[in-house]
């Protein structure tokens, strides 16, 4: 993991993201790309010279605040590159990632207290929607953050193979132990033990060409996929939940309905998304 992008909006949640990035950067000798997007319209930037002086003043003021925000003890010894964009366009986060060959985006968010509003339609959701690299959503102060145990929740369909392989690579980078969980539901989605095992065997053969990871799969029965993931994560003391998204199509309906969306919204654990 060579480069980590952290979008900064000066909130306490973006500081959570920045501190998490610092923890990971120290472990992996990574560079942090601190990205701030000014909320200046094109109209302001194209006004006459007298008005441009005013807009330049506000730009410099914001850049000064940005510099002060990055003056944190936990960033000492880490290469931090500030990047300022004049427009608040969240597709630019992905563009910055591509230009700099970044490996991960880390964003702060309010967590379950914000219910859906914090994620759906929010800045975090917009970044996730466009990002071609993994996005880690942090919801709490990361002082005790360790990503030793990761839950990858999946329906183990063919579409999930690419996300699974990306998650596995990230877990290898983090030196984390990844647990796979399949949630069996009552009703028409119910599967027998033989059906579940058959699906997992087919998935792993396609993803890895072998069954070495079969012992890492747990079958959980619950009333909803979200509850099953949450209960399993709590049971094993997981540090992170990994899910998949369909990118620009919005948050993936990875299972039926909006399960991935709900997990990302309501999980008290950090959530990392991987584009399918």
Q: Which residues contact 35 (CB under 8 A, 6 or more apart)?
A: 5, 6, 7, 8, 83, 84, 85, 93, 96
Cα 59 to Cα 40: distance, rounded to the nearest angstrom = 8
pLDDT per residue as tens, the chain (276 positions)? 999 999 988 888 899 999 999 999 999 999 999 998 876 544 444 555 555 676 677 777 777 888 899 999 999 999 999 998 876 666 788 899 999 999 999 998 875 444 344 444 467 777 887 889 999 988 888 766 689 999 998 889 898 899 999 999 999 999 999 999 999 999 888 999 999 999 999 999 999 999 999 999 999 999 988 889 999 999 999 999 998 777 655 444 444 445 665 676 677 788 898 888
Q: 112 and 131: one domain?
A: yes
Domain boundary among 115, 141, 167: 141
The range of the structural domain enclosing residue 7 comes to 1-141
| CATH code, domain carrying 273 | 3.40.50.620
Cα 192 to Cα 10: distance, rounded to the nearest angstrom = 50
Cα 226 to Cα 267: distance, rounded to the nearest angstrom = 9
Q: 158 and 258: one domain?
A: yes
Q: 24 and 6: one domain?
A: yes
Q: 106 and 157: one domain?
A: no
Q: 133 and 197: one domain?
A: no
Question: What is the pTM for the complete model shown?
Answer: 0.84
For the chain, what is the radius of gyration of the CA atoms?
20
Domain boundary among 141, 168, 188: 141
Domain boundary among 114, 141, 168: 141
- What is the number of domains present in the chain? 2
DSSP state, residue 176 = P
């Amino acid at each position: 993991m060579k480069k980590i992008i952290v979008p900064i909006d000066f909130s306490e949640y973006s500081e959570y993201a920045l501190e998490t990035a610092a923890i990971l950067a120290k472990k992996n000798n990574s560079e942090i790309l601190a990205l701030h997007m000014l909320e200046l319209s094109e109209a302001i930037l194209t006004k006459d010279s007298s008005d441009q002086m005013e807009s330049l003043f506000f730009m410099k003021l914001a850049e000064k605040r940005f510099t002060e925000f990055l003056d944190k003890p936990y960033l000492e010894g880490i290469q931090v590159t500030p990047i300022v964009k004049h427009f608040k366009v969240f597709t630019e986060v992905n563009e910055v990632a591509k230009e700099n060959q970044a490996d991960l985006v880390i964003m702060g968010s309010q967590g379950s207290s914000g219910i859906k509003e914090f994620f759906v339609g929010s800045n975090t959701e917009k970044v996730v929607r466009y990002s071609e690299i993994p996005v880690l959503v942090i919801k709490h102060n990361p002082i005790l953050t360790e990503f030793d145990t990761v839950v990858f929740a999946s329906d183990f369909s063919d579409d999930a193979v690419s996300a699974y392989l990306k998650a596995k690579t990230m877990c290898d980078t983090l030196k984390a132990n990844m647990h796979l969980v399949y949630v069996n539901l009552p009703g028409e989605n119910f599967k027998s033990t033989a059906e579940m095992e058959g699906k997992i065997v087919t998935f792993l053969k396609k993803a890895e060409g072998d069954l070495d990871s079969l012992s890492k799969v747990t079958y959980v029965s619950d009333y909803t996929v979200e509850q099953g993931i949450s209960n399993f994560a709590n049971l094993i003391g997981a540090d992170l939940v990994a899910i998949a998204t369909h990118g620009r199509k919005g948050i993936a309906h990875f299972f039926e309905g909006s399960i991935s969306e709900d997990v990302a919204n309501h999980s008290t654990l950090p959530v990392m998304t991987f584009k399918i």
